[in-house]
Structure 1
């Protein structure tokens, strides 16, 4: 009988001026890691990676609102990890300075993404896949780790809430469709890491989310 595969290393913590949830996902065997949405505090993120003994290889983004990628350039510079984003959010990434000015946040330039994320693309470490879930932004992505029953939903789905659609490129009908067709088809026992605030359970949102019922 094969021994059970050790669980993914995962830690989520709020970062940056708007307290975006940043998540580290590490392969316990290879010790390679991805970071999702490094919206600030690069020193903290690097310290947590070091504490877990992880080597960062890939920096992935649920979308390109400023609070989800402010520290991405500094992390890339320190680790050599590649930057990944869906192409439909390039216009937001390229307008980081405008976003910072609008929200009164200090501007730190970030280099262009190295690679464009595609729907159903396997993530680095081979531990999950990218799901294109537009609506909050045109290029919004969620990241699904089936063995861990873990979904990183960014600002698409919140605990008893959904992402706002009144910012650049947002579309309410598209957001609802993404939640119903892509997220609510996953395992109900899934833990959902949201872009801000507490985790939730997918089944709970399907039954109790006042905005989108399963």
Structure 2
């Protein structure tokens, strides 16, 4: 008789100047963890990891707009964890200073990513998979944790909204395809952690999202 895997440890909270949702996902058995989108307030993230008793092994990013990786350098320095990004967003990562000037946010340099995320790549801790969901940016990723029916959608899908496509590299046709073909194909009762604001569920968005219906 096989036992069902224990539920993941998961905590989501807003960080940084633009209120990006940062998520910690941890394996309850190994105590290894992912940090997703550390957009600021690195000490707050480190404090939460300590309270949860977790050790970061990977820092992964849904995309490379400034508010999703401002604290990535400090997190890497403090934990030694590797930085992961889809290569199609390298041009945004490399232009962090320009982005900060555009939005009036103080600039702190961040080291280059250690590894490029791939579509359908298994994530560290063996608990999830990376999905390439371009549109908001060329390299936008979502992270799917099937056993927990949990989706980290970044700025691709919001509660009754979708990511804007008028910034660098945005493409409405691509975000529509990503949502329809990749995200709306997941479990209707899956919880969606958005890049900003409240959580939602896949089924609710398929029925009620005014921009893209399922």
> TM class by shorter-chain length?
over 0.9
- Kindly state the Cα deviation for residue 2 of structure 1 after the two structures are TM-superposed: 3.9
SS of residue in 2 equivalent to 1:147: helix
Aligned to 2:149: 149
Separation in 1, partners of 2:3, 2:82: 33
SS of residue in 1 equivalent to 2:125: helix
Q: Which stretches of structure 1, 4 residues or longer, exceed 4 Å deviation after superposition?
A: none
- The answer (yes or no) to whether the contact 2:135–2:170 under 8 Å persists in 1 is yes
- Kindly state the Cα deviation for residue 6 of structure 1 after the two structures are TM-superposed: 1.7
Q: Does 1:196 align with 2:185?
A: no
How many pairs align? 214
TM-score, structure 2 as length reference: 0.99
Aligned to 1:52: 52
TM-score, structure 1 as length reference: 0.99
Cα deviation code 1:17-71 (max 9, x no counterpart): 0000000000000000000000000000000000010000100000000000000
Where structure 1 has 5 or more consecutive residues not aligned to the other structure, the ranges are none
Aligned to 2:209: 209
Aligned to 1:88: 88
Matches within 5 A, 1:103-118: 103-118=103-118
Aligned to 2:131: 131
Cα deviation code 1:147-188 (max 9, x no counterpart): 000000000000000000000000001100000000000000
Where structure 2 has 5 or more consecutive residues not aligned to the other structure, the ranges are none
- Kindly state the Cα deviation for residue 5 of structure 1 after the two structures are TM-superposed: 2.5
Separation in 2, partners of 1:86, 1:73: 17
